[in-house]
Structure 1
Amino acid sequence: MRTVQRQAGPVCLDQQPPHQDWGAFIGTACHVTLATSLRMEQLGLCCYCESEVAENDGHIEHMEPRSRNQTRIYDYANLAISCNGGAVEHCGHYKDDRKKNPKHAWDAARFSGPHDPATTSLFCYLPNGAITPTTSDPAKANYLIGYLGLDCPRLNERRKQHARDLIDTLGDQPDSALVNWLRQEYLQIAPDGHLRQFHSLSKAILET
Protein backbone atom coordinates (compact mmCIF):
# COMPACT_ATOMS: atom_id res chain seq x y z
CA MET A 1 0.00 0.00 0.00
CA ARG A 2 1.17 3.49 -0.78
CA THR A 3 0.33 6.38 1.53
CA VAL A 4 -2.83 8.22 0.50
CA GLN A 5 -3.00 11.89 1.46
CA ARG A 6 -6.40 12.65 2.95
CA GLN A 7 -8.37 15.60 1.59
CA ALA A 8 -11.71 17.09 2.57
CA GLY A 9 -14.69 14.91 1.69
CA PRO A 10 -17.72 16.14 -0.26
CA VAL A 11 -20.17 18.26 1.71
CA CYS A 12 -23.09 16.11 0.62
CA LEU A 13 -21.72 13.16 2.59
CA ASP A 14 -22.22 15.00 5.87
CA GLN A 15 -25.83 15.64 4.88
CA GLN A 16 -26.75 11.97 4.69
CA PRO A 17 -29.16 10.64 7.35
CA PRO A 18 -26.97 8.82 9.90
CA HIS A 19 -29.12 5.66 9.84
CA GLN A 20 -29.68 5.58 6.09
CA ASP A 21 -29.05 2.17 4.54
CA TRP A 22 -25.94 2.13 2.35
CA GLY A 23 -27.90 0.44 -0.41
CA ALA A 24 -30.23 3.44 -0.58
CA PHE A 25 -27.20 5.72 -0.94
CA ILE A 26 -25.67 3.80 -3.84
CA GLY A 27 -26.62 5.37 -7.15
CA THR A 28 -27.37 8.80 -5.73
CA ALA A 29 -25.63 11.93 -7.01
CA CYS A 30 -23.66 12.11 -3.75
CA HIS A 31 -22.44 8.54 -4.18
CA VAL A 32 -21.07 9.47 -7.61
CA THR A 33 -19.45 12.62 -6.18
CA LEU A 34 -17.94 10.62 -3.33
CA ALA A 35 -16.48 7.98 -5.66
CA THR A 36 -14.96 10.68 -7.85
CA SER A 37 -13.48 12.45 -4.84
CA LEU A 38 -11.92 9.26 -3.46
CA ARG A 39 -10.57 8.19 -6.84
CA MET A 40 -8.91 11.57 -7.32
CA GLU A 41 -7.52 11.47 -3.78
CA GLN A 42 -5.99 8.04 -4.46
CA LEU A 43 -4.61 9.13 -7.83
CA GLY A 44 -6.61 6.45 -9.63
CA LEU A 45 -5.22 3.48 -7.68
CA CYS A 46 -6.83 0.89 -5.43
CA CYS A 47 -6.29 1.81 -1.79
CA TYR A 48 -4.89 -1.64 -1.03
CA CYS A 49 -3.18 -3.36 -3.98
CA GLU A 50 -2.38 -0.26 -6.09
CA SER A 51 -4.09 -1.59 -9.22
CA GLU A 52 -5.54 1.01 -11.53
CA VAL A 53 -9.25 1.53 -10.86
CA ALA A 54 -11.20 2.92 -13.80
CA GLU A 55 -14.31 5.03 -13.31
CA ASN A 56 -16.59 2.12 -14.20
CA ASP A 57 -14.72 -0.30 -11.95
CA GLY A 58 -14.10 -0.70 -8.24
CA HIS A 59 -16.30 0.21 -5.31
CA ILE A 60 -16.40 2.49 -2.29
CA GLU A 61 -14.79 0.57 0.52
CA HIS A 62 -15.54 0.76 4.24
CA MET A 63 -12.16 0.02 5.80
CA GLU A 64 -13.79 -0.72 9.15
CA PRO A 65 -16.67 -2.97 8.00
CA ARG A 66 -20.20 -1.63 8.18
CA SER A 67 -21.20 -4.74 10.12
CA ARG A 68 -18.70 -3.83 12.84
CA ASN A 69 -19.47 -0.15 13.27
CA GLN A 70 -22.68 1.35 11.93
CA THR A 71 -21.66 4.84 13.09
CA ARG A 72 -18.86 5.00 10.49
CA ILE A 73 -20.92 4.23 7.39
CA TYR A 74 -20.78 7.87 6.23
CA ASP A 75 -17.48 8.73 7.91
CA TYR A 76 -15.18 9.96 5.14
CA ALA A 77 -12.14 8.90 7.17
CA ASN A 78 -13.38 5.30 6.88
CA LEU A 79 -13.95 5.34 3.12
CA ALA A 80 -11.70 4.57 0.16
CA ILE A 81 -11.85 3.24 -3.39
CA SER A 82 -10.97 -0.44 -3.72
CA CYS A 83 -10.69 -2.56 -6.83
CA ASN A 84 -13.09 -5.50 -7.08
CA GLY A 85 -10.30 -8.05 -6.71
CA GLY A 86 -10.97 -10.16 -9.78
CA ALA A 87 -13.09 -13.14 -8.75
CA VAL A 88 -13.09 -11.82 -5.16
CA GLU A 89 -9.46 -12.84 -4.64
CA HIS A 90 -8.15 -9.75 -2.89
CA CYS A 91 -8.89 -6.26 -1.52
CA GLY A 92 -12.24 -4.83 -0.38
CA HIS A 93 -14.75 -7.48 -1.38
CA TYR A 94 -12.40 -10.25 -0.31
CA LYS A 95 -11.37 -9.08 3.14
CA ASP A 96 -14.74 -9.53 4.86
CA ASP A 97 -16.04 -12.47 2.82
CA ARG A 98 -15.83 -15.32 5.29
CA LYS A 99 -16.37 -17.95 2.56
CA LYS A 100 -13.56 -16.60 0.39
CA ASN A 101 -11.39 -15.56 3.32
CA PRO A 102 -12.19 -17.83 6.27
CA LYS A 103 -8.85 -17.46 8.04
CA HIS A 104 -8.84 -13.71 8.57
CA ALA A 105 -11.29 -11.23 10.06
CA TRP A 106 -11.40 -7.57 11.04
CA ASP A 107 -9.01 -6.73 13.87
CA ALA A 108 -8.86 -3.03 14.72
CA ALA A 109 -5.61 -3.48 16.65
CA ARG A 110 -3.82 -4.96 13.63
CA PHE A 111 -5.44 -3.12 10.75
CA SER A 112 -3.37 -0.27 9.33
CA GLY A 113 -5.00 1.74 6.57
CA PRO A 114 -3.49 3.39 3.51
CA HIS A 115 -3.87 6.86 5.04
CA ASP A 116 -1.49 6.03 7.87
CA PRO A 117 2.05 6.98 6.74
CA ALA A 118 3.44 4.05 8.77
CA THR A 119 1.58 1.46 6.68
CA THR A 120 3.82 1.67 3.65
CA SER A 121 6.87 0.79 5.77
CA LEU A 122 5.32 -2.58 6.65
CA PHE A 123 5.84 -4.11 3.20
CA CYS A 124 8.65 -4.98 0.83
CA TYR A 125 7.94 -5.66 -2.86
CA LEU A 126 10.17 -8.12 -4.71
CA PRO A 127 10.85 -8.43 -8.48
CA ASN A 128 9.27 -11.90 -8.48
CA GLY A 129 5.92 -10.31 -7.63
CA ALA A 130 5.93 -11.23 -3.95
CA ILE A 131 4.97 -8.90 -1.14
CA THR A 132 6.72 -9.61 2.16
CA PRO A 133 6.86 -8.02 5.62
CA THR A 134 9.69 -5.72 6.57
CA THR A 135 11.17 -5.77 10.05
CA SER A 136 8.96 -2.83 11.03
CA ASP A 137 6.05 -4.94 12.36
CA PRO A 138 5.97 -8.42 10.75
CA ALA A 139 2.89 -9.56 12.67
CA LYS A 140 0.81 -6.62 11.49
CA ALA A 141 2.14 -6.92 7.95
CA ASN A 142 1.32 -10.64 7.75
CA TYR A 143 -2.18 -9.96 9.07
CA LEU A 144 -2.80 -7.31 6.40
CA ILE A 145 -1.39 -9.48 3.63
CA GLY A 146 -3.73 -12.31 4.61
CA TYR A 147 -6.78 -10.16 5.41
CA LEU A 148 -6.54 -8.27 2.11
CA GLY A 149 -5.30 -11.16 -0.03
CA LEU A 150 -2.27 -9.17 -1.14
CA ASP A 151 -0.30 -12.35 -1.83
CA CYS A 152 -2.89 -14.11 -3.97
CA PRO A 153 -1.52 -15.78 -7.15
CA ARG A 154 -3.34 -13.33 -9.42
CA LEU A 155 -1.74 -10.28 -7.83
CA ASN A 156 1.68 -11.92 -7.57
CA GLU A 157 1.64 -12.72 -11.28
CA ARG A 158 0.53 -9.23 -12.26
CA ARG A 159 3.21 -7.66 -10.09
CA LYS A 160 5.79 -10.09 -11.49
CA GLN A 161 4.93 -9.09 -15.05
CA HIS A 162 5.06 -5.42 -14.13
CA ALA A 163 8.49 -5.85 -12.56
CA ARG A 164 9.73 -7.87 -15.52
CA ASP A 165 8.67 -5.14 -17.95
CA LEU A 166 10.52 -2.51 -15.94
CA ILE A 167 13.66 -4.60 -15.48
CA ASP A 168 13.75 -5.57 -19.17
CA THR A 169 13.45 -1.90 -20.13
CA LEU A 170 16.27 -0.96 -17.77
CA GLY A 171 18.59 -3.60 -19.19
CA ASP A 172 21.89 -4.65 -17.65
CA GLN A 173 23.52 -1.23 -17.63
CA PRO A 174 20.82 1.48 -17.74
CA ASP A 175 22.01 5.00 -18.37
CA SER A 176 20.87 7.88 -16.20
CA ALA A 177 18.65 9.38 -18.91
CA LEU A 178 16.63 6.15 -19.20
CA VAL A 179 16.31 5.82 -15.43
CA ASN A 180 15.11 9.41 -15.14
CA TRP A 181 12.56 8.86 -17.92
CA LEU A 182 11.24 5.70 -16.25
CA ARG A 183 10.97 7.48 -12.92
CA GLN A 184 8.97 10.23 -14.59
CA GLU A 185 6.69 7.74 -16.32
CA TYR A 186 6.16 5.34 -13.43
CA LEU A 187 6.58 7.39 -10.27
CA GLN A 188 5.22 10.83 -11.10
CA ILE A 189 1.59 11.87 -11.33
CA ALA A 190 0.39 12.01 -14.95
CA PRO A 191 -1.47 15.02 -16.40
CA ASP A 192 -4.79 13.23 -15.79
CA GLY A 193 -4.02 13.16 -12.06
CA HIS A 194 -3.32 9.42 -11.93
CA LEU A 195 -0.36 7.26 -11.03
CA ARG A 196 0.66 4.09 -12.82
CA GLN A 197 -0.35 0.86 -11.12
CA PHE A 198 1.90 -0.86 -8.57
CA HIS A 199 3.59 2.39 -7.62
CA SER A 200 5.37 0.90 -4.59
CA LEU A 201 6.83 -1.92 -6.65
CA SER A 202 8.01 0.52 -9.33
CA LYS A 203 9.56 2.67 -6.63
CA ALA A 204 11.40 -0.34 -5.17
CA ILE A 205 12.92 -1.11 -8.59
CA LEU A 206 13.64 2.38 -9.83
CA GLU A 207 14.94 3.94 -6.64
CA THR A 208 17.39 1.23 -5.59
Structure 2
Amino acid sequence: MIELIHNLHVPPALQAFVAANPAAQPADFDSAAFQPVKRQVKSSLHADQGGLCAYCETELAADGGQIDHIKPKSGSHAHSHLAFTYSNYAHSCINEKTCGQRKKAGLLPIEPGPGCNLEFSLTVDGQLEPMPDLTRQRKHAVRQTRDMLGLQNAALVRERQQWIEVVIELMRHEPALVPAFLADKPFRHILRQLSA
Protein backbone atom coordinates (compact mmCIF):
# COMPACT_ATOMS: atom_id res chain seq x y z
CA MET A 1 0.00 0.00 0.00
CA ILE A 2 1.10 3.55 -0.40
CA GLU A 3 1.99 5.52 2.69
CA LEU A 4 -0.84 7.94 2.05
CA ILE A 5 -0.64 11.43 3.49
CA HIS A 6 -3.64 13.51 2.46
CA ASN A 7 -3.12 17.12 1.47
CA LEU A 8 -4.27 19.34 4.31
CA HIS A 9 -6.03 21.59 1.80
CA VAL A 10 -9.36 19.89 1.14
CA PRO A 11 -10.45 20.40 -2.49
CA PRO A 12 -12.59 23.57 -2.66
CA ALA A 13 -15.41 21.80 -4.49
CA LEU A 14 -15.71 19.27 -1.63
CA GLN A 15 -15.69 22.04 0.99
CA ALA A 16 -18.40 23.89 -0.94
CA PHE A 17 -20.55 20.77 -1.34
CA VAL A 18 -20.35 19.92 2.36
CA ALA A 19 -21.16 23.52 3.32
CA ALA A 20 -24.14 23.64 0.95
CA ASN A 21 -25.38 20.13 1.89
CA PRO A 22 -24.86 19.65 5.64
CA ALA A 23 -27.42 16.84 5.73
CA ALA A 24 -25.87 14.93 2.79
CA GLN A 25 -26.21 11.17 3.12
CA PRO A 26 -23.80 8.47 1.85
CA ALA A 27 -26.12 7.84 -1.14
CA ASP A 28 -25.47 11.45 -2.24
CA PHE A 29 -21.86 10.49 -2.96
CA ASP A 30 -23.12 8.84 -6.17
CA SER A 31 -25.55 11.63 -7.08
CA ALA A 32 -25.31 13.69 -10.26
CA ALA A 33 -24.72 16.80 -8.14
CA PHE A 34 -21.59 15.27 -6.61
CA GLN A 35 -19.98 14.14 -9.90
CA PRO A 36 -18.08 17.41 -10.57
CA VAL A 37 -16.82 17.31 -6.98
CA LYS A 38 -15.61 13.74 -7.48
CA ARG A 39 -13.49 14.84 -10.43
CA GLN A 40 -11.73 17.48 -8.33
CA VAL A 41 -11.32 15.08 -5.40
CA LYS A 42 -9.91 12.38 -7.67
CA SER A 43 -7.41 14.83 -9.14
CA SER A 44 -6.28 15.90 -5.67
CA LEU A 45 -5.97 12.29 -4.47
CA HIS A 46 -3.98 11.44 -7.59
CA ALA A 47 -1.47 14.13 -6.62
CA ASP A 48 -1.42 13.04 -2.95
CA GLN A 49 -0.77 9.43 -3.99
CA GLY A 50 1.89 10.16 -6.60
CA GLY A 51 -0.18 8.61 -9.39
CA LEU A 52 -0.48 5.18 -7.76
CA CYS A 53 -3.44 3.13 -6.59
CA ALA A 54 -3.56 3.51 -2.80
CA TYR A 55 -3.78 -0.24 -2.29
CA CYS A 56 -1.84 -2.18 -4.94
CA GLU A 57 0.60 0.61 -5.92
CA THR A 58 0.12 0.19 -9.66
CA GLU A 59 0.11 3.28 -11.86
CA LEU A 60 -3.25 4.98 -12.15
CA ALA A 61 -4.35 7.66 -14.62
CA ALA A 62 -5.47 10.93 -13.04
CA ASP A 63 -8.97 10.49 -14.44
CA GLY A 64 -9.03 6.70 -14.07
CA GLY A 65 -9.99 4.47 -11.20
CA GLN A 66 -12.42 5.34 -8.46
CA ILE A 67 -12.63 7.14 -5.16
CA ASP A 68 -12.73 4.51 -2.45
CA HIS A 69 -13.80 5.16 1.12
CA ILE A 70 -11.01 3.76 3.30
CA LYS A 71 -13.54 3.30 6.09
CA PRO A 72 -16.72 2.26 4.24
CA LYS A 73 -19.60 4.70 3.97
CA SER A 74 -22.21 1.91 4.09
CA GLY A 75 -22.62 -1.74 5.01
CA SER A 76 -22.11 -3.50 8.32
CA HIS A 77 -18.91 -1.52 9.05
CA ALA A 78 -20.38 1.82 7.95
CA HIS A 79 -18.72 5.06 8.92
CA SER A 80 -21.42 7.14 7.24
CA HIS A 81 -20.20 10.28 9.04
CA LEU A 82 -17.00 10.01 6.94
CA ALA A 83 -18.77 9.79 3.57
CA PHE A 84 -17.67 13.34 2.66
CA THR A 85 -14.38 13.47 4.60
CA TYR A 86 -11.38 13.93 2.32
CA SER A 87 -8.98 12.09 4.63
CA ASN A 88 -11.18 8.99 4.32
CA TYR A 89 -10.76 8.84 0.54
CA ALA A 90 -8.28 6.85 -1.53
CA HIS A 91 -7.81 6.83 -5.29
CA SER A 92 -8.07 3.16 -6.21
CA CYS A 93 -7.90 1.17 -9.41
CA ILE A 94 -11.03 -0.53 -10.70
CA ASN A 95 -10.34 -4.25 -10.75
CA GLU A 96 -12.85 -6.73 -9.36
CA LYS A 97 -10.01 -8.98 -8.17
CA THR A 98 -8.12 -6.34 -6.18
CA CYS A 99 -8.22 -3.13 -4.19
CA GLY A 100 -11.41 -1.15 -3.46
CA GLN A 101 -13.63 -3.31 -5.66
CA ARG A 102 -12.54 -6.40 -3.76
CA LYS A 103 -12.63 -4.72 -0.33
CA LYS A 104 -16.20 -3.52 -0.91
CA ALA A 105 -17.62 -2.43 2.47
CA GLY A 106 -14.97 -4.22 4.52
CA LEU A 107 -12.99 -2.53 7.27
CA LEU A 108 -9.24 -2.86 6.72
CA PRO A 109 -7.13 -3.87 9.72
CA ILE A 110 -4.23 -1.89 8.19
CA GLU A 111 -5.05 1.25 6.22
CA PRO A 112 -2.87 3.10 3.70
CA GLY A 113 -0.89 5.68 5.65
CA PRO A 114 2.50 6.39 7.17
CA GLY A 115 4.14 3.14 8.28
CA CYS A 116 1.45 0.92 6.77
CA ASN A 117 4.03 -1.36 5.15
CA LEU A 118 6.19 -1.91 8.24
CA GLU A 119 4.48 -5.19 9.08
CA PHE A 120 4.58 -6.53 5.50
CA SER A 121 7.51 -8.57 4.24
CA LEU A 122 8.16 -8.60 0.49
CA THR A 123 9.67 -11.86 -0.76
CA VAL A 124 11.95 -11.99 -3.81
CA ASP A 125 9.20 -13.72 -5.77
CA GLY A 126 6.79 -10.81 -5.20
CA GLN A 127 4.68 -12.27 -2.38
CA LEU A 128 3.51 -10.19 0.57
CA GLU A 129 3.79 -11.92 3.93
CA PRO A 130 3.71 -10.78 7.56
CA MET A 131 7.06 -9.90 9.11
CA PRO A 132 8.26 -13.00 10.98
CA ASP A 133 8.68 -11.32 14.37
CA LEU A 134 5.07 -10.11 14.63
CA THR A 135 2.61 -11.41 17.17
CA ARG A 136 0.04 -13.90 15.97
CA GLN A 137 -2.62 -11.18 16.11
CA ARG A 138 -0.56 -8.75 13.98
CA LYS A 139 0.28 -11.48 11.45
CA HIS A 140 -3.45 -12.10 11.13
CA ALA A 141 -4.04 -8.36 10.53
CA VAL A 142 -1.42 -8.35 7.75
CA ARG A 143 -2.86 -11.43 6.05
CA GLN A 144 -6.42 -10.17 6.40
CA THR A 145 -5.52 -6.78 4.89
CA ARG A 146 -3.55 -8.41 2.06
CA ASP A 147 -6.36 -10.84 1.28
CA MET A 148 -9.18 -8.29 1.56
CA LEU A 149 -7.40 -6.18 -1.06
CA GLY A 150 -6.39 -9.11 -3.27
CA LEU A 151 -2.72 -8.13 -3.05
CA GLN A 152 -1.63 -11.74 -3.66
CA ASN A 153 -3.37 -11.70 -7.05
CA ALA A 154 -1.12 -13.62 -9.48
CA ALA A 155 -0.80 -10.71 -11.91
CA LEU A 156 0.23 -8.32 -9.13
CA VAL A 157 2.72 -10.82 -7.72
CA ARG A 158 4.32 -11.27 -11.16
CA GLU A 159 4.54 -7.53 -11.72
CA ARG A 160 6.07 -6.94 -8.27
CA GLN A 161 8.57 -9.73 -8.94
CA GLN A 162 9.69 -8.06 -12.17
CA TRP A 163 10.29 -4.78 -10.36
CA ILE A 164 12.10 -6.59 -7.53
CA GLU A 165 14.50 -8.12 -10.06
CA VAL A 166 15.24 -4.67 -11.51
CA VAL A 167 15.82 -3.15 -8.07
CA ILE A 168 18.07 -6.03 -6.95
CA GLU A 169 20.14 -5.69 -10.12
CA LEU A 170 20.47 -1.95 -9.57
CA MET A 171 21.46 -2.55 -5.93
CA ARG A 172 24.27 -4.83 -7.10
CA HIS A 173 25.72 -2.37 -9.59
CA GLU A 174 24.63 1.15 -8.56
CA PRO A 175 23.14 1.07 -5.03
CA ALA A 176 23.34 4.84 -4.66
CA LEU A 177 20.88 5.22 -7.56
CA VAL A 178 18.12 3.09 -6.00
CA PRO A 179 16.27 5.89 -4.13
CA ALA A 180 16.15 8.13 -7.21
CA PHE A 181 15.13 5.18 -9.38
CA LEU A 182 12.23 4.27 -7.09
CA ALA A 183 11.00 7.87 -6.78
CA ASP A 184 8.39 7.54 -9.53
CA LYS A 185 7.97 3.78 -10.04
CA PRO A 186 5.00 1.53 -9.29
CA PHE A 187 5.27 -0.40 -6.01
CA ARG A 188 7.81 2.16 -4.75
CA HIS A 189 6.50 2.15 -1.18
CA ILE A 190 6.79 -1.60 -0.68
CA LEU A 191 9.97 -1.87 -2.80
CA ARG A 192 11.76 0.49 -0.42
CA GLN A 193 11.98 -2.50 1.93
CA LEU A 194 14.61 -3.98 -0.37
CA SER A 195 16.95 -1.05 0.00
CA ALA A 196 16.34 -0.46 3.71
Matched with 1:77 is 87
The separation in 2 between residues aligned to 1:114 and 1:44, in whole angstroms, is 14
* Contact 1:14–1:74 (8 Å) recurs in 2: no
Structure 1's 15 and 25: CA in aligned 2 closer, same or farther, altered over 3 A?
Answer: farther
Structure 1 residue ranges without an equivalent (≥5): 97-104, 189-194
Matched with 1:196 is 185
1:161-200 paired onto structure 2 within 5 Å: 161-170=162-171, 173-174=172-173, 178-186=174-182, 188=183, 195-200=184-189
| RMSD of aligned Cα (Å) | 2.1
1:90 equivalent in alignment to 2:105: no
Give TM-score scaled by structure 1 length.
Answer: 0.78
1:141-180 paired onto structure 2 within 5 Å: 141-170=142-171, 173-174=172-173, 178-180=174-176
Give TM-score scaled by structure 2 length.
Answer: 0.82
* Contact 1:159–1:198 (8 Å) recurs in 2: yes
* Contact 2:70–2:88 (8 Å) recurs in 1: yes
The separation in 1 between residues aligned to 2:128 and 2:32, in whole angstroms, is 35
Matched with 1:65 is 72
The separation in 2 between residues aligned to 1:25 and 1:15, in whole angstroms, is 15
Per the alignment, in what secondary structure is the counterpart of residue 7 of structure 2? coil
How far did 1:133 drift? Answer: 0.8
1:11-160 paired onto structure 2 within 5 Å: 11-16=12-17, 17=21, 18-19=24-25, 21-25=28-32, 28-67=35-74, 68-85=78-95, 88-96=96-104, 106-107=106-107, 111-115=109-113, 117-134=114-131, 135-136=133-134, 137-160=138-161
Structure 1's 32 and 45: CA in aligned 2 closer, same or farther, altered over 3 A?
Answer: same
The separation in 1 between residues aligned to 2:120 and 2:110, in whole angstroms, is 12
The separation in 2 between residues aligned to 1:26 and 1:93, in whole angstroms, is 23
Structure 2 residue ranges without an equivalent (≥5): none
The separation in 2 between residues aligned to 1:144 and 1:78, in whole angstroms, is 17
How far did 1:106 drift? Answer: 2.1
Equivalenced residue count is 182
Percent of aligned pairs sharing the same letter: 23
The separation in 2 between residues aligned to 1:201 and 1:89, in whole angstroms, is 20
How far did 1:203 drift? Answer: 1.4
How far did 1:156 drift? Answer: 0.7
How far did 1:34 drift? Answer: 0.6
Flag the structure with higher helix content.
Answer: 2
Structure 1's 6 and 56: CA in aligned 2 closer, same or farther, altered over 3 A?
Answer: closer
